[in-house]
Amino acid sequence: MRGEGIRVLVVGGGVAGLATLRALRDWGATIDLVERTNGPADSGTGIYLTGNATRALGTLGLWEPIADVAVEITRQRSGNQHGRRLFDIDVATLWDGVGPCVSLPRAELHRALLAGVEHFPIRWGARPVAVAREGERVAVEFDDGGAERYDLVIGADGVNSTVRRLAFDGHAARPLGQYAYRWIAPRVDDEPVWSVLLGRGTQFLTIPVSAEQTYCYYNDGAVADRPGWRDDLRATYAEPVTTMLEALDADDSTLHAGPNQEVVLDSWARGPVLLIGDAAHATSPNMAQGAAMALEDAVVLAESLTTAGTVAEALRAYEARRRPRTDWVLSQTHRRDKAAGLPPVLRDAVMRHLGEKLFRSNYGPLFARP
């Protein structure tokens, strides 16, 4: 099927939305993209892309601009809160033949995706306020008073999706009992290593995202924005925690905080309205698969629309192809969160003896193309 004569609305100008716009650029449809923020993101923290994410970027023709600004991560290291090493993974070897693992500032990824959509106009500062099915089409009203009809509406607007709220009976994301803090600090180690320290139900992660910067992530458990979390983190964890917190104390402008949530739906489509990315299947971030799944979604959706005879047929084929993969990621994030919550003595023993084996099994199905 070609897209001539088909009108598509993409809601959301993040990874999922921009990747979808890029994937559909030659399909022939008329595509509108609306984004609720007033302009391109020029802030944020960092992002880690595993091999299946960079493979998808290659499929989209977007790998080279990412490679120019990213740090290639060759090793992942896990230790306990005292800094004692539990196990290492050579991720360059693990993902060999799939794609390199890289990290970069989130704003750099957004810039590359924006450049990739080329001439497509983006309607900034707009969002839908009503989505109603009219036969095989969808009527959409926007917060600026405008209204349009589309043959396909794609909700790519994240874990707290407006499209999901409007078209999927108000289905909300569910909390995972994790409150996370993210910030940027100076880079203090030349080695390109993803490193996590595991505490009692908490985790502290560092990833270099440029020659000068480190992305820091701290999961503080279930209590939201707990007073004194910085002091407790300093007292509980070994270096480089204190050094990373000193940078935050000096300038907290890069701090982002909020709960981790997941989205689980029986179906991602309601007629010609489809959810993709975190709007459809957000998970705990412990496998770093949020962006990867969104990029893969875009690739597979474009292939499904191209090979199907109708939009409805394409959406059925898309979900049948994607759901086993996203369900796998969901189940593995649950396993990893459960393992991280074990009593520290037991957890450390398990991780020392089985950590590498478990890690490889977590990602094994993702080595194949989606």
pLDDT tens digits, one per residue of 135-149: 899 999 999 999 999
Q: What is the pTM of this model?
A: 0.97
The model's confidence at residue 317, banded by pLDDT at 50, 70 and 90, is: very high
The more confidently predicted of residues 41 and 192 is 192
The mean per-residue pLDDT over the stretch 213-237 comes to 94
Q: Which pLDDT does position 119 carry in this prediction?
A: 81
Q: Which pLDDT does position 298 carry in this prediction?
A: 98
Q: Which pLDDT does position 114 carry in this prediction?
A: 95
Question: Strands 137-142 and 147-150, how do they pair?
Answer: antiparallel
Neighbours of 239 (CB within 10 A): 10
The mean per-residue pLDDT over the stretch 165-184 comes to 96
Euclidean distance between CA atoms 160 and 165, whole angstroms: 8
CB contact set of 201 (below 8 Å; sequence gap of 6+): 221, 340, 341
- Strands, E, within the chain: which ranges? 7-11, 30-35, 46-49, 71-72, 75-80, 85-90, 102-105, 122-124, 128-134, 137-142, 147-150, 152-155, 174-186, 193-198, 203-208, 213-219, 256-262, 269-270, 273-275
The mean per-residue pLDDT over the stretch 146-159 comes to 97
Q: Is the pLDDT of residue 320 over 90?
A: yes
CB contact set of 68 (below 8 Å; sequence gap of 6+): none
Q: Is the pLDDT of residue 68 over 90?
A: yes
The model's confidence at residue 118, banded by pLDDT at 50, 70 and 90, is: confident
Give the total residue count for the chain.
370
Q: Which pLDDT does position 270 carry in this prediction?
A: 97
Q: Which pLDDT does position 368 carry in this prediction?
A: 97
The model's confidence at residue 44, banded by pLDDT at 50, 70 and 90, is: confident
Question: Strands 7-11 and 152-155, how do they pair?
Answer: parallel
What is the rounded average pLDDT for all residues in the chain? 96
The mean per-residue pLDDT over the stretch 210-220 comes to 97
Planar angle of CA 163, 167, 173, nearest 5 degrees:
60
The model's confidence at residue 183, banded by pLDDT at 50, 70 and 90, is: very high
The more confidently predicted of residues 43 and 370 is 370
> pLDDT tens digits, residue range 267-278?
999 999 999 999
Q: Which pLDDT does position 237 carry in this prediction?
A: 97
- Quickly name the fold that domain 7-173+261-367 has: FAD/NAD(P)-binding domain (3.50.50)
Q: Which pLDDT does position 186 carry in this prediction?
A: 95
Share of the chain above pLDDT 70, in %: 100
The model's confidence at residue 41, banded by pLDDT at 50, 70 and 90, is: confident
The model's confidence at residue 340, banded by pLDDT at 50, 70 and 90, is: confident
Q: Is the pLDDT of residue 160 over 90?
A: yes
Neighbours of 46 (CB within 10 A): 27
Sign of torsion, CA 55 61 66 72? Answer: positive
The model's confidence at residue 341, banded by pLDDT at 50, 70 and 90, is: confident
Q: Domain-by-domain residue ranges, the chain?
A: 7-173+261-367
The model's confidence at residue 105, banded by pLDDT at 50, 70 and 90, is: very high
> pLDDT tens digits, residue range 225-236?
899 999 999 999
The mean per-residue pLDDT over the stretch 142-163 comes to 97
